Structure 1
Amino acid sequence: MIVYAEYVFLENFIMNYLILSLTSKFGKAIPQKIKLVIASSVGALYAFIIFFPSLHFLFSFVMKFACSMLIIVIAFTPYRFKDFFRLLGIFYFITMVFGGAGFALFYFTNFNGVISNGIFYITNISIKNIIISCGIGYILINFCWGYIQKQLSKDKIFMKVKIKMNGEAVELVGMVDTGNSLIDPISNHPVMIVEFDAILNLLPLDTHKIFMTSKFPNFNDIATSINNTAWVTRLRVIPYEALGTENGMLVGFKPDGVVIEHESEIKNINDIIIAIYSKKLSKTGNYRALLHPDLI
């Protein structure tokens, strides 16, 4: 059987790019397109080892795992081990779903192919079969992911939060958000995002108007309004990225302390930064703060 190298590369590149794109979507990561292209190309080139028998030792479990790790690093460049392994797990989950969908489809259809050291090459695959298998894989992933998220949502962790500042305190309900990985770049303290309205009484009066009149308050205006006060040393700027926002900035401050209560457990935290969010975090109003996972 003749195996064409260009087809091996193209098929693997397309599937790698699709899997990495879905990993980005479900992992809440926003990589650059060029990084996805490079990572997909690396994965596609790895399949070329099938043409070099002397290099088949690279098909070992350790080398396959190392290649997948390299692909994740190239595509997403995660800076924390927790984010890295989360993306790697999602990458494997999506890969297995797509692989299962592809095998199931081709099992019930006529095809010729070869399997060598984990590389599955199909010779008479059609565009129609590729589209159908990708469609089935995508539907399965959405269904499985939606089911998992639904089950997890039943156990969403809501906690009572008390924020202390200059002898004042506000109490509110916060939700632990596994997608919140914000860290203060100066102190490396975890960041808790809180609605402006919920902590209004803790903030200097001169800053109220700034937050009320702008969805994205200007840091310089806030810094000027609290000049020559003790608040200057507490002020923070927290960079963030979100869908449609690559270089966002949240204004925050260092509180005197935060008390988090869940069931019978009470936790006092001093090493924390409060980021001020000018809009609503929950449409239903069930919670008014997003807690960093490291806080629990």
Structure 2
Amino acid sequence: MAIYLDVIWFLNFCIDLLLLLLTGIVLKRTLVKWRILLGSLLASSIIFLLLTPYSALFYHPVFKVVLSVCIVVVTFGFKKFSYFIQNLLTFYFVSFICGGGLIALHYFFNNEMVILNGVVSTKSTGLGTPLSWLLVIIGFPILWYFSKKRFEQIEVRKIKYDEIVDVALAINEIEFHLKGLIDSGNQLQDPLTKRPVMIIDMNEMQNKFPKDIVEQAKHPEMIGDSSFSINKGWEEKLCIIPYRGVGQVNQFIIGVKPDRVVITLQKGEQLQCNNVVLGLNFTNLSSDGDFHCILHPQMLVQGKSA
């Protein structure tokens, strides 16, 4: 029987890479490219152990635990023991979810197993079947994406939507701080990039922006008009976002892409969310002045620990 070791190794490398990526996404870790590639390479290199006299180690539980510890340390580093344990257990949890899903799908579609005289036998050739390869190549990425979305939904539901947080913004070397409300009702997205939109009360914040940007925000329908001159460095950051409120016709607001957005939660945890658009709005958001911006809940899901 011919075994294409390079194909098997590459398949395992891709699967290990996706598992480590999902672990980092769930824990909101800052992923370093060379670390995650090195961790995936270490995890997939176990395949070559089968061709050595030490192949028995491949099946030993202690060796698997030691290998997984090395994989987690290489990929995420070792800052403190609790940080390491959280990484390791989440890596196991993610692996069990995706691996268990593949096993369930395989036995759901499998028709090679038969029972003859009370003995279970299979019709497998040892090379695997098209169904097995399809489940690994196609089924695993689908399960990975499904698991990622479920984790995000669980995290969104845990967010306290009435929580007011501190927000720090940086745009073209302009930095300012303001209070933000996490609101589940804000589901506005940039239609082109699908970035979540964070609404800012320009009545309080317009002194932080150049005058031409403020005038453009007051008249979004005039964007691109030659009568408006935009400062250099701001043109590529502007976009126009359509929206519709309850009982209103379609309207537009001017959006600005920030360089950096850092959210400080009540517990002191900081999340950096750069993949966002600032919606410049002149409607008073809080009559009491408790907050000056409304955050999209997706920002807390996509944000990385700062």
Task: Using structure 1 for the length normalisation, give the TM-score.
Answer: 0.47
Rg larger in structure: 2
Task: Using structure 2 for the length normalisation, give the TM-score.
Answer: 0.46
